[in-house]
Each structure stands twice: as C-alpha cells, then as structure tokens.
C-alpha cells in the first residue's frame, strides 16, 4: 500500500506573505492547529497555533502587520504520495511526529498523512501501533539515535 491510498487529499494552506491574523483566522475557522505555508505553490514551512502564541503574541507583535513567512517553522517533514505507507510510518516514528505533508513527484503539496489516517485505514493496525509507540517515547538524545540507527543497519 502507498501513501496516496490512505492520505487525506488536499490541505488548507496559507501563503507566506499572508498576515498572522489571516493564519489565525484560518486555523480557527477550520478547526486545525497547523497550516502548510506555500510560496509560489511550493511548500516552504508550516505555521501552528503554538507558533503564533509563542513567536507573535508573547513578543507583543501586531499580528495583522506580521507576515507568516517570518514566524513559520521552516523545517517540515514530508513524504511522497507513491511512497510505501510503512516507510512514511517509520519516518513518523523516527521523527516523533503525528503528521507528514504529502508531495507529488513535482514537489507539490497534495495532502497530509496523519497518525489517524494510519490507524483508520490500517486493516491490522500494526503500522499505526508501531508509529504511535515511537511517537510516544520520550525523545532520545541525538547520539543515541545515531547509535541505534547504525546498529540496526549492521544487522540488515
């Protein structure tokens, strides 16, 4: 099974040049906590409700005059629509995240893959269970992650 078989197609997005106020309004209107940020139809980051509170409100910036691009998180986790579901789930587990943005071969955003998508559509539930187990673990120091990864590769 590939990611496109189980992902949520499409995603509410925000443009990099839009205001923080516009982002907050979209988050509230659609009942979501995260928006992919696009610039010329390319995914360049994400803005969350937490980003807005911590980076804008707590610093007493005027949200209506702040552009999303200056307060977004530029690093986002992605997978591709033709990638195996197990690979995407492994990435979620490894990075300890609950959602991935899904890109097509042209690097355009086509949807999202969430832990809920995995759980809802996984017939036996094992892929979602494995991902959740890794996501729920306390973060390991980077040195331990590298050691664990290299140890696993030696036995494959």
Q: What is the pTM of this model?
A: 0.76
The more confidently predicted of residues 32 and 127 is 32
CATH of the domain at 77: 3.10.580.10
Provide the pLDDT for residue 144.
41
- Over residues 45-56, the mean pLDDT reads 96
User: What range does the domain containing 58 cover?
Assistant: 3-154
pLDDT in tens, 113-122: 998 888 876 5
Number of domains in the chain: 1
How crowded is residue 15: how many other Cβ atoms within 10 Å of its Cβ? Answer: 17
What is the overall mean pLDDT for the chain? Answer: 83
The H or E element spanning position 142 is: helix 142-154
Query: Which of 107 and 141 is assigned the larger pLDDT?
Result: 107
Q: What is the mean pLDDT of residues 81-89?
A: 94
Q: Give the strand order in the sheet containing 42-48.
A: 14-15, 34-39, 42-48
């Amino acid at each position: 099974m590939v990611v496109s078989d189980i992902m949520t197609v499409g995603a509410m997005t925000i443009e990099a040049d839009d205001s923080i106020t516009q982002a907050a309004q979209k988050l509230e209107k659609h009942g979501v906590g995260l928006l992919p940020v696009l610039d010329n139809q390319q995914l360049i980051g994400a803005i969350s409700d937490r980003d807005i509170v911590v980076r804008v409100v707590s610093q007493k910036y005027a949200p209506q005059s702040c552009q999303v691009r200056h307060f977004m998180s530029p690093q986002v986790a992605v997978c591709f629509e033709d990638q195996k579901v197990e690979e995407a789930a492994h990435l979620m587990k490894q990075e300890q995240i609950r959602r991935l943005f899904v890109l097509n071969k042209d690097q355009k955003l086509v949807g999202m893959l969430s832990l809920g998508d995995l759980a809802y559509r996984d017939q036996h539930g094992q892929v979602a269970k494995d991902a959740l187990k890794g996501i729920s673990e306390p973060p390991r120091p980077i040195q331990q992650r590298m050691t664990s990864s290299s140890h696993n590769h030696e036995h494959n």
